[in-house]
């Protein structure tokens, strides 16, 4: 496998001020460049950008059942190291994040066992963070 390079993801937000506060203060992501309508972030080593679109309204009724939970679709996030996932989850719990799916172990005892959690930003964009004790399980069947 070739060295994995950072990805770039740009998403719409309907209120730049609220979302900037969420990503900067609540999630504690480091800001990069910005303008009056967008902000770059260091998203665990990846380039993540929020762009203001005051008309943005994500669907609230789109989900898929996974391991008995209603997983919001679409969603995005990253796979974290096991310890980093649990430390991040603790920070979010201390900040009283409203989880769509609180941190738990998905597919327990089965191929692809993972820690996962879902929550939404102030614009309703769904985020998932996950981790594997054994990274070889990332694409397990």
Domain ranges of the chain: 1-54, 62-141
Is domain 62-141 annotated with CATH 2.60.40.10?
no
Q: What is the pTM of this model?
A: 0.91
**Same fold across 1-54 and 62-141:** yes
Q: Please, which residues have CB within 8 angstroms of residue 68's CB and are 6 or more apart in sequence? A: none
Preceding omega of 74 cis (within 30 degrees of 0): yes
Burial track 108-120 (b if 16+ CB lie within 10 A, e otherwise): eeeeeebbbbbbb
Q: How far apart are the C-alpha atoms of 120 and 26, rounded to whole Å? A: 12
CATH 3.10.180.10 for domain 1-54: yes
Mean pLDDT for the stretch of residues 117-125: 97
pLDDT tens across 72-89, in order? 999 999 999 999 999 999
d(CA 96, CA 85): 16
Query: Distance from first CA to last CA of the chain, Å, rounded?
Result: 19
């Amino acid at each position: 496998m070739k060295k994995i390079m950072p990805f770039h993801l740009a998403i719409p937000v309907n209120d730049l001020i609220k979302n900037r506060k969420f990503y900067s203060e609540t999630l504690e992501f480091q800001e990069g460049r910005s303008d009056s309508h967008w902000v770059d972030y260091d998203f665990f080593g990846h380039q993540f950008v929020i762009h203001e679109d005051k008309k943005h309204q994500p669907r609230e009724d789109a989900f898929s059942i996974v391991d008995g939970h209603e997983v919001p679709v679409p969603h995005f996030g990253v796979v974290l190291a096991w310890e980093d996932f649990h430390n991040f989850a603790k920070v979010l719990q201390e900040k009283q994040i409203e989880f769509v799916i609180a941190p738990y172990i998905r597919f327990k005892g089965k191929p692809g066992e993972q820690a996962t959690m879902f929550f939404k930003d102030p614009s309703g964009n769904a985020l998932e963070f996950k981790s594997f004790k054994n990274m070889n399980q990332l694409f397990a069947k």
